[in-house]
Amino acid sequence: MTAIASDPKKNVAFYTKFLGLTLVKKTVNFDDPTTYHLYYGNETGAPGTIITFFPWPHTMRGKAGTGQTTVTAYSVPKDSLEYWIERARAHGVTVSGPVERFGEQYITLRDPDNMAVELVASGPAGGTHLLSFHSVTLTEWNLAPTSKLLTELLNFTVVGEAGNRTRFATGGPGFVDVEVVPDQRRGSIGSGIVHHIAFRTPNDETQKVWHEKIAEAGHSVSPIMDRNYFHSIYFREPGGVLFEIATDPPGFAIDEPADQLGMTLKLPIWYEPRRAELETILPALA
């Protein structure tokens, strides 16, 4: 998951100090090195645990709507929702619920940019920490084109339907929910909005297969891009949501020890000559 934020300090505080994630990489936006690219995940930055942000301090608030990923959900222990409700209220975090969906209880939190983060009571009882991604919600005008891409191209299957929501899965952990709201306005990009979502692929060889498969299906797909910690391709599903397929390797320990992830600013080699300048421009983080 990659989203846009405004204040990087508030973003770090919410995702590390409140939610308890680890800041596993502090680098820059490769297209705009004057802003951070912040990565949060588990202690080792394992694939499948990572949410990232581009924080632009003066960006306008985006508007959630169709053609967007509107919710990111984490799995938490089954008996922990009351803890999270009380914790949110104590920290001044907006919280609603619990409510039930597909037989599971969940609550909705709002991060400092009003982005929806759900906590779903789906993990083994005991403890309170976030366990893993549970699901993402795509909000669309129309189900059929997105469903066709997910099932016929990306190997998802429909595993549940409830009201205007259809749940897709691949057999591994995590779900993609498609919520159909035909009368809702199209979303606009800005802070508090997910920029794109990424699906894992094991290595460069499988990514090349996906690149060919997506192109042959008639979708406009980007060249393979080197993101230092993984390689990526991008394309839009029919409803407008930007998808990424990213390799697991080389991983976040490629440029700093695993026990020191996120402690120092890491730059791609082509920006190293500008380090002094960028360290002056980028705000200090707690």
Give a three-class secondary structure readout of 105-124: EEEEEECCCCCEEEEEEEEC
Q: CA nearest 84: which of 113, 114, 111, 109?
A: 109
Q: CA nearest 131: which of 201, 202, 41?
A: 41
The strand pair at 95-101 and 51-55 is best described as unpaired
Structure tokens at 137: 């919600």
Q: CA nearest 207: which of 247, 172, 170?
A: 247
Tens digit of pLDDT per residue, the chain (286 long)?
A: 999 999 999 999 999 999 999 999 999 999 999 999 999 999 989 888 999 999 999 899 999 999 999 999 999 999 999 999 999 999 999 999 999 999 999 999 999 999 999 999 999 999 999 999 999 999 999 999 999 999 999 999 999 999 999 999 998 889 999 999 999 999 999 999 999 999 999 999 999 999 999 999 999 999 999 999 999 999 999 999 999 999 999 999 999 999 999 999 999 999 999 999 999 999 999 7
Long-range contact set of residues 216-220: C-beta below 8 Å, sequence gap at least 24: 217/153
Angle formed at CA 36 by CA 18 and CA 26, multiple of 5 degrees = 65
What is the Cα Rg of the chain in Å?
19
> What is the pTM assigned to this prediction?
0.95
pLDDT of residue 48: 84
Percent helix, strand, coil in the chain, to 5, is 20, 40, 40
pLDDT of residue 173: 84
C-beta of residue 110 within 8 angstroms of C-beta of residue 167:
no
How many whole angstroms from its chain centre is CA 198?
7
Domains of the chain: 2-260 (3.10.180.10)
pLDDT of residue 172: 83
Helical ranges in 191-274 per DSSP H: 204-216
How many whole angstroms from its chain centre is CA 214?
22
How many whole angstroms from its chain centre is CA 209?
24
C-beta of residue 154 within 8 angstroms of C-beta of residue 138:
no
Q: Is 180 left (phi over 0), alpha (psi -120 to 50) or beta?
A: beta
Q: What is the spatial distance between Cα 190 and Cα 64, in angstroms, rounded to a whole number?
A: 9
Q: Which residues pair with 235 in a beta bridge?
A: 243
Q: What is the spatial distance between Cα 272 and Cα 25, in angstroms, rounded to a whole number?
A: 16
pLDDT of residue 171: 87
